[in-house]
Amino acid sequence: MFRDFTTDLENKLLSALPINAGVRTLSYDPLNRLDVYNPGTAKRFIYDGDEVIAELNASGNIVGRYVRGDAPDEIITGYTSSDPTARGWYHLDNRNSVIAVTDPNGVVTVLNRYDEYGQPQGGNYGTFQYTGQMWLGEIGVYNYKNRMYWPNERPGGRFLQTDPIGSVDSPNPYQYVLNDPVNFVDPLGLQSETRCVQVEGGKEYCSNQPFGSGFAGSGTGSWGAGTGFDVAAFFAQLDAALDETIEVVGRRIHRRAIGLWSDFAKGLQSQTCSTLSLLGDNGRLRFGGDIQSYGGIGGAAGAGIFIDSHGRIGTDRYYGWGAGLGLVGGVGLSIGNDRPQAGNIRINHLQGGVGGGWIGAQGTYSSWEGASGSGGVGVGPKLGYSAGSVTGRQIAWYGGSICE
C-alpha cells in the first residue's frame, strides 16, 4: 500500500507516500503532539493534555468535539456536526477500543470491528478506533502519541519508529506490546502495560477499591460500622482525582524529558543508575511529608515522590484511621527498603522525636493486598511523638524507568 515513509531527526513521521497517490504530510506542535494532518484536505487538532478534544478543518471551523472520561484514551461522547444535539455516545471494550457509537435515541450508527492487532475491518468509521487511538486512515496507521503504529504489517502489527525510551519491552524496538495485543496495551507508544480495571458505577478505575463505610473502630484500628459521611466514597473520589492529576503531569514531564535527551544526559543516566543500584532490589530514595495524629481515635497520612533502585520515578501516598496517642509530623529526604504498591496497609508502632530520624511511611507494614516492607531512615525537620496502630490504604504510581 505504501512505498515510502519519511521521519525527521526526532523520529516523528513527516510524510507517507501511498502507491498511486499523492504525499500525505504531518506536522507537530512544540509538545510533539500531532498538530496538522494533511491527507489532501488539512485537519488540525486541539488538545487537553495528551487527549484530542476537537478537530478543525482547513478553514478553522470545528468539525469534531469530544468529551473525555477519567481513564486514558476514554471517550464518552462526541459531536461530529454543527448540530449541538447530534451527538454520538461511544461504547468501548476493555482496551478502550471504540466498538460502537449510538445516537441519543440509542440507535447504533457506527459498528467497528478489528483483528487482534487493530487492523480495522470493512465499515469501520471514526477518528478514534483501536485502543482509543487516532486512526489516520489515508496512510493506514494509528497515532500512539510518541510514535506511529502500523497494524497491517504481517505477521502482527509494528511501530514505524524505534521506541524513544529504548528496549524496555523487547530487544526489538519496533515490536508492539510484546506481540500480545490481547493482554497488553501501549497508550503512549512507549511501554506495554496491562489494564488494571475496577468496574464501579459503569466507569473504569485502577487502584480504587473502596474499604467500606463508617469511621475507624477502636483498638486495632480496623474499619467498622459507624455513623457519619461515607468514608469509602470520599476516598474513592480522592483517588480518582489524584490519579488523573499525577498521570497528566507525569506524562507531560516524561514527554518533555525525551525531547531534551542528549549525550550528556545519557552519561548522567549511566552514573545515576549505577548509584541507585546500591540501594538494593527494594530500595528507594524518597522525598515526602507525613503526619500522624492520635487522641484515642486518630489518623495518619503522607505523600512523597521517589526514585527506586531500578530507576523508576514514582509517587506514593497513604491515609487511614486507627487508635493511639500523640502527634508527630515531618518532611524530608529518606532512604528506605520498601517498595510501595496499591492496596490496604496497616502501620504499627509509629514513633517520633525531634530532629532527624524516621521520615516518611514509618514503622512496619503488614498487608493483605500486596503492600509490604519496612520504613527507612532519613533527614529533615520533625516534631512530636506518637504510638499506635493505623489501618488504611496505600496508593502507588510508577512511571517509566530511566535505567532500562
| pLDDT tens digits, one per residue of 55-70 | 999 999 999 999 999 8
Task: Indicate if 54 and 163 belong to the same structural domain.
Answer: yes
What pLDDT is recorded for position 109?
A: 92
Cα–chain center distance at 66: 20
Residues 169 and 295 in one domain: no
* Same domain for 284 and 156: no
Domain boundary among 137, 162, 179: 179
Same domain, 6 and 133: yes
pLDDT at 227 over 70: no
Q: Are the C-beta atoms of 329 and 289 separated by less than 8 Å?
A: yes
The model's pLDDT over 37-95, given as tens digits with 9 standing for 90+, comes to 998 889 999 999 999 999 999 999 999 999 999 888 999 999 987 677 788 999 999 88
Q: Is 247 a member of any domain?
A: yes
Is the residue at 186 inside a domain?
A: no
pLDDT value at residue 359: 36
If one counts the domains in the chain, the total is: 2
First to last CA, the chain: 35
Report which of 311, 326, 330, 327 is spatially closest to residue 400, judged by C-alpha positions: 311
**Does 11 have pLDDT greater than 50?**
yes
Which amino acid is it at 355? G
Is residue 202 one of the residues assigned to a domain?
A: no
Indicate whether 174 and 55 sit together in one domain. Answer: yes
Residue 341 confidence (pLDDT): 63
Residue 185 lies in a domain: no
Q: CA 315 → CA 18, 127, 247, 276, distances in Å?
A: 45, 34, 10, 17
Q: Do residues 236 and 111 both lie within one domain?
A: no
Backbone φ, ψ for residue 203 (5° rounding): -115, 165
Backbone φ and ψ for 219, nearest 5 degrees, come out as 80, -95
Whether 53 is covered by a domain: the verdict is yes
**243, 385: one domain:** yes
- Residue that wins the pLDDT comparison between 314 and 38: 38
Chain-wide mean pLDDT for the chain?
75
Residue partners of 213: CB distance under 8 A and separation at least 6? 225, 226, 230, 231, 232, 233
Query: What whole-number distance in Å separates Cα of residue 21 and Cα of residue 38?
Result: 13
Within-domain flag for 271 = yes
Strand order in the sheet with 141-143: 134-136, 141-143, 148-150, 158-159
Of the three residues 161, 179, 197, the one that is the final residue of a domain is: 179
Report the predicted TM-score, pTM, of the whole model to 2 decimal places.
Answer: 0.50
- For residue 18, give its domain range: 2-179
Q: Model confidence over 96-154: pLDDT tens digits?
A: 999 999 998 999 999 999 998 999 988 899 999 999 999 998 889 999 999 999 998 76
Of the candidate ranges 33-47, 129-143, 163-177, 332-346, the one whose mean pLDDT is the lowest: 332-346
* Domain annotation covers residue 329: yes
Residues 79, 170 within the same domain: yes
Same domain? 166 vs 250: no
Q: Which residues pair with 36 in a beta bridge?
A: 27, 44
Say what the pLDDT of residue 344 is: 62
Give the number of C-alpha atoms closer than 13 A to the C-alpha of residue 178, restricted to the C-beta side.
11
**Distance in angstroms (rounded) separating the CA atoms of residues 259 and 63:** 31
Final residue in a domain of this structure, among 159, 179, 199? 179
233, containing H or E segment? helix 231-259
Please indicate, yes or no, whether residues 11 and 75 belong to a single structural domain of this protein.
Answer: yes
Together in a domain, 161 and 235: no
In a domain, 217, yes or no: no
Q: Find residue 296's DSSP bridge partners.
A: 324
On whether both 120 and 266 belong to a single domain, the answer is no
